[in-house]
Amino acid sequence: MSRIKSPAELEAFRKEILAQRDPDKPCITLCSGSACNATGSGKVAAALELEIEKQGVTTEVVSRRTGCHGFCEQGPIVVIYPQGICYLKVQPEDIAEIISETIKKQKIVERLLYVDPNSGERATLEEDIPFYKYQKRLVLGSNRKIDPRSLEDYLAVEGYQAIAKVLFEMTPEQVVGEVKDAKLRGRGGAGFPSGLKWDFARNAPGDQKYVVVNCDEGDPGAYMDRSVMEGNPFAVLEGLMIGAYAIGANEGYIYVRQEYPLAVANLTVAIEKAEEYGLLGKNILGSGFDFTIKVHRGAGAFICGEETSLLNSLEGKAGEPNARPPFPAIRGLWSKPTNINNVETWANIPMIINKGAAFFSAIGTESSKGTKIFSLVGKVNNTGLVEVPMGASLRDIIFKIGGGVPGDKKFKAVQTGGPSGGCLPEDLLDTKVDFDELSQAGAMMGSGGMIVMDEDTCLVDIARYFLAFLSDESCGKCTPCREGIRQMLKILTNMTKGLAKEGDIDLLFELAEATKGSSMCALGKTAPNPVLSTLNHFREEYEAHINEKRCPSLSCKELIAFHIEPEKCKGCGACFRKCPAEAIEGGKKRIHVVVQEKCTKCGGCHEACPAAFDAVKILSGVPVPEATPEEARAIG
Amino acid sequence: MSEISLQIDGKEVAVSAGTTILEAARSLGIEIPTVCDHAQLSPYGACRICTVEADANGRTNLVASCQYPVEKDMVVRTKTEQVDKIRKVLLEQMLSHAPDSEQLVALGQIYGADRDRFEKEASFCILCGLCVRYCAEVKKKDAISFFDRGAKREIAFLPEIAMQECWDCKECFPLCPTSALQAAYVLTEALMTPTEPAAPSCGGGCSSSEGCG
Ligand SMILES: Cc1cc2nc3c(=O)[nH]c(=O)nc-3n(C[C@H](O)[C@H](O)[C@H](O)COP(=O)(O)O)c2cc1C
Ligand code: SF4
Ligand code: SF4
Ligand code: SF4
Ligand code: FES
Ligand code: FES
């Protein structure tokens, strides 16, 4: 195929592609996102190709390798269309059966289906799996339908329809107006209204302007941007191109985190294809609009995700923040007006143009529109990427989509917003996913991290963990951030070790106020959040650590002790065999005893002791009882 | 250039666009404490001691006056209870590194900072960047630079440049608010211990010797 020179040619090409595709023909899709690749998608793909040949169904089925579906812990994932039959954890040896049974005989391979951990029920179709059922996958949805490296696939799902409309039917002002009317807010963290930001860059004086995609995604455990970039790079390219037209830029940069090789690879192929078809480069679709894109690989630091640091890093300078104002919209890349948005923000743009601002703004709450992708992890049955309409409650996400807390443990808190987000307790579970509501509750939307914690999680330790991350990742330029985090981290570490002093809570508040109030960039301004939100909602845990040297969650190693209750020990030796530290004195028919000096607090004995005996106790805040004397240890 | 009028501590002033709050305050004779600000260097915003409270566009923010440009009809308060509290904590944090700095001790007295509040830190440097920026911006030699990030950030001379440039210069020494000693100490160390030249920090933490450009 040569360059597409007009919207009419584009539509003709699209028609041709769709005409060749029979929607009723069985299509086996295999997820080939980073996570599924790590669990063996490559081998499954090879088996699939081989088996299709071997069983002689080359003309009867189509196969396609797609992007991430979001349910990565269950990968590699195979979905068979048109029905949407969903097989999980598929291995190469399952493929023969999938073809001989499902493709040839329309029979389901039961053992590959999803089993609900709570009810034990199986689900055949993707849409029946609770993890998917309650989602609204407007952005991630295409991932499972298209091969991210295929322009034809993207065109088959309305791809490049939006840019054609924008270039030929809309003025740049109208495009900005549409994004404003959609009330889209940035998905990268701050939730700034995107249309307004575009307007600033558009109205900023200067001939040379730039658009930038922020795909630095440094939050530990978060990968929504990776999945969008890997799974649907054309959507990001199209969104970026629309933004460029709107603000008057002809050059774009995509800043991708160093650790995302597949995203870079798919993106590079997508850019090459788009160039080949004339959907990038000079005179796009014959409109006179020129646009080129360069991919830049990040330096691997969390702070490089902050926009001014990112732009410095793009210029080859130290990846450290600048003061704002001036904002990038006025003085950005190489001091030119620059509009920078997050991957997910850009990926929403083609949809807003195609479906209209009214469609988009009808979804969500008063102040937050559309959907948001979260990375749901931690103590929750179903982990993965979930896309929900704004306004969904945290409870629904954790319990309906996530399937609740595993085992018989109790929910304790949910942390949203990445490392500098906040922890919310059970009584705030009805909080809605909404930029303002989350902030008011003391958490934040951030870029979409969501970590569920159960009763065994110590929130003082959680605050310590996040501050340790931020202490490493702060650029270190300004005092309140660098020193404030250092001091808060020291106090929190002391608390988890039983070394806290009276007055430490007040000192934490004082340090938090200075760091929040006077830091240069948002890393410092939000760094106290983990401390403040846990102090506000779980203050009693702090007080127990300080006043009683007790960890209520029995998790801080230096505040707990393992103790075998002599009355309950049956001398079975399960703990003795499990202990890696040889810290248990045992013997046949003898009461077992933990030698405290040797114990490394691994918890092995506690797990090993049969539930019926329940002899191993975790103590905190109380002295460990004297060990039963040697001569009194015989049982029965 | 267009004039922008604003109010600082109740006094009206009109200055040209692009002026910082600090400069505007000085033109009124209002003193705002500073540590990392220097007349010959571009604003850097590291110490944050110059933080003031500013109302603009219907919002109240705490901003670093040495960097923040004046805005139309802005109302600035250079001393408030909150601002003073923040300055006190910032001084205490800096004093934990440089307890003998005359400048910090003097400021500490004004804000009631307790120089022993936080445990002493081994480094005497408060990372104000005066030496680094002076060498880069005024001398254009880049003999001294920041390395690493976060709590591990430090300054170091690049021996191969320092060897040639520093002996006859040493102009950065007297700029150091921790007393001239810190930069001198680091320089001596750099010149005494022959080490592999390290790549300047990009703050990005990459180990690549080409930096992250
Ligand atoms: C410490 C820090 C890290 C950030 N990391 C990211 C990131 O990884 N990805 C991102 O899109 N935005 C990140 N941001 C937010 C950006 O500064 C910026 O607000 C965002 O890219 C704007 O895009 P949006 O309006 O589409 O959200 C970060 C901000 C801070 C302070
Ligand atoms: S707030 Fe932290 S990350 Fe931001 S400029 Fe200051 S030291 Fe660097
Ligand atoms: S906690 Fe671990 S180290 Fe300690 S006694 Fe039990 S098994 Fe041994
Ligand atoms: S050595 Fe002195 S002048 Fe240089 S950064 Fe450290 S405190 Fe500032
Ligand atoms: S990578 Fe396959 S589901 Fe996420
Ligand atoms: S004087 Fe303004 S930040 Fe140091």
CB atoms within 10 A of CB A472: 18
Final residue of a domain: which of A500, A524, A548?
Answer: A548
Mean pLDDT for chain B?
Answer: 88
Look at residue A522 and tell me if it is in a domain: yes
Q: Which residue type does A485 have? A: I
| Burial class of B207 by CB neighbour count within 10 A (0 to 12, 13 to 18, 19+) | exposed
- The list of chain A residues with pLDDT below 70 reads 1
- Whether residues A610 and A543 share a domain: the answer is no
Look at residue A2 and tell me if it is in a domain: no
Q: What was the pLDDT predicted at B121?
A: 87
Q: What was the pLDDT predicted at A21?
A: 93
- Whether residues A490 and A619 share a domain: the answer is no
Look at residue A143 and tell me if it is in a domain: no
Look at residue A183 and tell me if it is in a domain: yes
Nearest to B204 among A300, A479, A484 (CB): A300
Q: Which residue type does B34 have? A: T
Q: What was the pLDDT predicted at B183?
A: 65
CB atoms within 10 A of CB A525: 18
Q: Which is the closest atom of ligand 3 to the Cα of A601?
A: 1
Element housing A182 (H / E): helix A172-182
How far, in Å, CA of B54 to CA of A516, rounded?
Answer: 16
Q: What is the CATH number of the domain that holds A513?
A: 1.20.1440.230
* Residue B193 scores a pLDDT above 90: no
Nearest to A616 by CA among A580, A584, A582: A584
Asked if B172 contacts B183 with a C-beta cutoff of 8 angstroms, the reply is yes
Reduced to 3 states (helix: H, G, I; strand: E, B; else coil), residue A356 is coil
For A54-82, write each residue's pLDDT tens digit: 999 999 999 999 999 999 999 999 999 99
Q: What is the CATH number of the domain that holds A86?
A: 3.40.30.10
* Residue B208 scores a pLDDT above 50: no
| Burial class of B160 by CB neighbour count within 10 A (0 to 12, 13 to 18, 19+) | exposed
- Whether residues A314 and A405 share a domain: the answer is no
Reduced to 3 states (helix: H, G, I; strand: E, B; else coil), residue A609 is coil
How far, in Å, CA of A370 to CA of B67, rounded?
Answer: 37
Kindly give the distance from the C-alpha atom of residue A227 to the centroid of ligand 5, in angstroms, as a whole number.
8
Q: What was the pLDDT predicted at A636?
A: 77
CB contact under 8 A, B150 and A517: no
- Whether residues A349 and A257 share a domain: the answer is yes
Asked if residue A144 has its Cβ within 6 Å of ligand 5, the reply is no
| Nearest-ligand number for the alpha carbon of B123 | 4
- Search chain A and give the residue with CA nearest B66: A323
Q: What is the CATH number of the domain that holds A406?
A: 3.10.20.600
Look at residue A342 and tell me if it is in a domain: yes
Judge whether A313 is closer than 8 Å to chain B, CB to CB.
yes
Nearest to A208 by CA among A338, A316, A346, A317: A338
Q: Which residues contact B200 (CB under 8 A, 6 or more apart)?
A: A318, B142, B145, B146, B147, B158, B211
Final residue of a domain: which of A411, A435, A454?
Answer: A454
Ligand 1, atom 25, residue with closest C-alpha: A186
- Give the mean model confidence (pLDDT) for residues B54-61: 94
Considering only CB atoms, which chain A residues are within 8 Å of B90? 479-480, 483, 514, 518
Q: What is the β-pairing status of strands B144-147 and B154-157? A: antiparallel
Spell out the alpha helix ranges (H) of A183-223: 194-203
How far, in Å, CA of A327 to CA of A521, rounded?
Answer: 12
- Whether residues A445 and A306 share a domain: the answer is no
- Whether residues A595 and A490 share a domain: the answer is no
Which residues form ligand 6's pocket by a CB distance below 6 Å?
A: B 34-37, 45-50, 64, 66
* Residue B206 scores a pLDDT above 80: no
Total domains present in chain A: 5
Asked if A119 contacts A243 with a C-beta cutoff of 8 angstroms, the reply is no
Q: What is the CATH number of the domain that holds A232?
A: 3.40.50.11540
For residue A366 the two structure tokens come to 């008063």
For A463-515, write each residue's pLDDT tens digit: 999 999 999 999 999 999 999 999 999 999 999 999 999 999 999 999 999 99
How far, in Å, CA of A512 to CA of A516, rounded?
Answer: 6
Q: What was the pLDDT predicted at A282?
A: 97
Please, which pLDDT band fits residue B211 given cuts at 50, 70 and 90?
Answer: very low
- Whether residues A231 and A333 share a domain: the answer is yes
Considering only CB atoms, which chain A residues are within 8 Å of B146? 318, 476
Q: What was the pLDDT predicted at A355?
A: 98
Q: Tell me which residue has tokens 């571009």.
A: B42
Kindly give the distance from the C-alpha atom of residue B65 to the centroid of ligand 4, in angstroms, as a whole number.
21
CA A427 to chain centre: 24
Look at residue A139 and tell me if it is in a domain: no
Determine the residue of B93, B178, B186 to mutate for testing ligand 4's pocket, defined as the one with the most ligand atoms within 8 A of the Cβ atom.
B178
Reduced to 3 states (helix: H, G, I; strand: E, B; else coil), residue B176 is coil
Reduced to 3 states (helix: H, G, I; strand: E, B; else coil), residue A262 is helix
For B163-186, write each residue's pLDDT tens digit: 899 888 889 888 999 875 566 777
**Structural domain boundaries enclosing A539:** 459-548
- Whether residues A412 and A440 share a domain: the answer is yes
- Whether residues A541 and A565 share a domain: the answer is no
Final residue of a domain: which of A516, A548, A580?
Answer: A548
- Whether residues A233 and A263 share a domain: the answer is yes
For B12-39, write each residue's pLDDT tens digit: 999 999 999 999 999 999 999 999 999 9
Question: In what order do the strands lie in the sheet containing B75-77?
Answer: B11-16, B3-8, B75-77, B51-56, B59-64
Nearest to A243 by CA among A318, A332, A144, A345: A345
Considering only CB atoms, which chain B residues are within 8 Å of A315? 213
- Whether residues A20 and A93 share a domain: the answer is yes
How far, in Å, CA of A296 to CA of A264, rounded?
Answer: 9
- Whether residues A301 and A276 share a domain: the answer is yes
| Nearest-ligand number for the alpha carbon of B20 | 6
Q: What is the pTM of this model?
A: 0.94
CB atoms within 10 A of CB B55: 16
Look at residue A611 and tell me if it is in a domain: yes
How far, in Å, CA of A49 to CA of A178, rounded?
Answer: 45
Kindly give the distance from the C-alpha atom of residue A457 to the centroid of ligand 1, in angstroms, as a whole number.
28
* Residue B197 scores a pLDDT above 50: no
* Residue B199 scores a pLDDT above 70: no
CA B157 to chain centre: 18
Rounded to a whole number, what is the distance in Å from the CA of B177 to chain A's nearest CA? 14
Residues 43-102 of B with CB under 8 A from A: 43, 45-49, 51, 62, 64, 67-69, 82, 85-86, 89-90, 93-94, 96
Q: Which residues contact A440 (CB under 8 A, 6 or more apart)?
A: none
Q: Give the helix, strand, coil percentages of chain A, each rounded to 5.
A: 45, 15, 40
How far, in Å, CA of A362 to CA of A352, rounded?
Answer: 11
Q: Tell me which residue has tokens 């703050």.
A: B203
Q: Which residues contact B190 (CB under 8 A, 6 or more apart)?
A: B156, B157, B158, B159, B162
* Residue B195 scores a pLDDT above 70: no
Phi, psi (5° rounding) for residue A437?
A: -65, -40
Look at residue A146 and tell me if it is in a domain: no
